[in-house]
Structure 1
């Protein structure tokens, strides 16, 4: 009987000690900080975002000796979105920019001063630390009718949605030395110029043959892209596209260059400056007889709201 009581007491003591040890271990586990293994993480395959901006400027004069328009109003809006995919050696970058501007003055009346749709989609497959092989697709056009104006204020219909539109398909190589800068090069690029409007195609506008609605070109293409977010307050974005048509005047290189600077003043208030330049040898709407190409330059400075998402 004494042996049995001794065994029961011994087992009870061991059980209490085991429970005490379990409680201690549970306490240690609850207080322990868990650090993830850096090799055991799941990265996002998609990164999406963008911003919406609206700039406005208004002015009025009354009995102003220096002269000027009695009333002026300018509104400019822009939407810039992106969707980037990255998994293993595959990448797919997509950007969409839409700009629309309107101005009204006493002397000039109502005019459109900005209208642009620009979609870029680029696929890449990593073949080196800084090199990708892939293809680029670009679509550019506008949304509404556009006009050119002479010195007397007379307007001439010059453009509309899909008149013109530029569609570019370009297989090539991309060099990306860092996250801010990239260069895409292609020696074999197909570009289509579309003029859907009958009145514009009937006069061979934008280089299409008279009466035709599209023109096919084959040439070399280069695209240089730079985006730098210096800090939360200041960012700069630039894109330069160059295209040379092998089949016609290859030395007359078409140029498309866009620049945008954003300076954030408050949470939503932003100072924006944009500078765009286009030279297309087929756009012959300038000169004395409106039959010559020329560098097209657009510069805009605005203060307004900008919301990122």
Structure 2
């Protein structure tokens, strides 16, 4: 098939050399490209068809050990005001959320569950000079476990969190909007490792208990070298680039069906520091209530609470409600 394509290309090139109008030459050139790739495609199809049946069966058998599922959601919010007596600001917010799981189970009862979550969003308010973040999170979770019985497993887990885009502090100086970079990708980066027990009923309900967990917060040293004495940057002291602690953690996930077309996802994580202020519990809770309008359109309410002494000694709250496009796999 590839030989036939080459012969056809040669014949086409001879025709292009003839004294024809310019637009005809361009048309024939596109025909050459089309014929070439058609020949390659046909050859690839022939090679695929020639694979032995036992090889295909082996591939299918291995795929059965994996589960791949998740959701991609686009959320959009918009507000517009004109001659509105009580006032208001025009605004536009866009949010992309990607949340996928890759789970593996082999015949020896080894379980490997992985989750990757990415959320990026931006907001623009009329009259402002800059777009501002609505969200910027990248989180990876991985649990490797060995089954003890139907639900319980010995486990080792890994958690990684960071952001993808620079973060800014916005302020006004001499009547002009200005911004100062205060964070970036991998600054901070939070890594947590632990050993313990993993309880899993199914893909919609699980939790992990780790009495021995280490956590590290890593930052770019450029952000700490000019700190004032006693000041910290995400818990990292002046001139340093990391802080490490040892403690215990408890994390989990649960999806429940509130009504026929309304579901709620709950993710949570608690961390107890053995070395410093053990009474202070760092926690993170993320709830996502989704109303499925039809196969592609949904409304969602996201509530995200976080408290971490090392990051900021106040409760962090993020809430977003919007109408979105959903792609389920």
TM-score norm. by structure 2 comes to 0.73
Cα distance in 1 for residues equivalent to 2:316 and 2:225: 21
CA RMSD of aligned residues (A): 2.4
CA contact (8 A) 1:201 1:208 kept: no
> Residue 3 of structure 2 corresponds to which residue in structure 1?
none
- Check if 1:63 corresponds to 2:83: yes
Aligned residues: 260
> Residue 187 of structure 2 corresponds to which residue in structure 1?
163
- Check if 1:127 corresponds to 2:151: no
* CA pair 230-62 structure 1, distance change in 2 beyond 3 A: closer
* CA pair 216-202 structure 1, distance change in 2 beyond 3 A: farther
* CA pair 51-176 structure 1, distance change in 2 beyond 3 A: closer
SS of equivalent residue, structure 1 residue 305: strand
> Residue 11 of structure 2 corresponds to which residue in structure 1?
none
> Residue 73 of structure 1 corresponds to which residue in structure 2?
92
CA contact (8 A) 2:152 2:197 kept: yes
Runs of 4+ in 1 over 6 A off after TM superposition: 150-154
Q: CA deviation at 1:158?
A: 3.2
User: 75, 79, 85: which one pairs with 2:104?
Assistant: 85
TM-score norm. by structure 1 comes to 0.77
Q: CA deviation at 1:86?
A: 1.2
Q: How does 1:1-309 map to 2 (within 5 A)?
A: 44-69=64-89, 71-88=90-107, 89-109=109-129, 110-148=131-169, 157-177=181-201, 180-196=204-220, 198-200=222-224, 202-203=226-227, 204-228=232-256, 233-284=261-312, 293-309=313-329
Question: Between Structure 1 and Structure 2, whose CA radius of gyration is higher?
Answer: 1
Q: Structure 1: 5+ residue runs without aligned partners?
A: 1-40, 285-292
SS of equivalent residue, structure 1 residue 206: coil
* CA pair 278-42 structure 1, distance change in 2 beyond 3 A: closer
Cα distance in 1 for residues equivalent to 2:192 and 2:180: 28
Q: Deviations over 1:84-129 (max 9, x none)?
A: 1112311110010000111111244521111100100011111122
Cα distance in 2 for residues equivalent to 1:58 and 1:226: 31
Q: Deviations over 1:121-178 (max 9, x none)?
A: 0111111222100111000011111234579987554322111111011111122356
* CA pair 161-197 structure 1, distance change in 2 beyond 3 A: farther
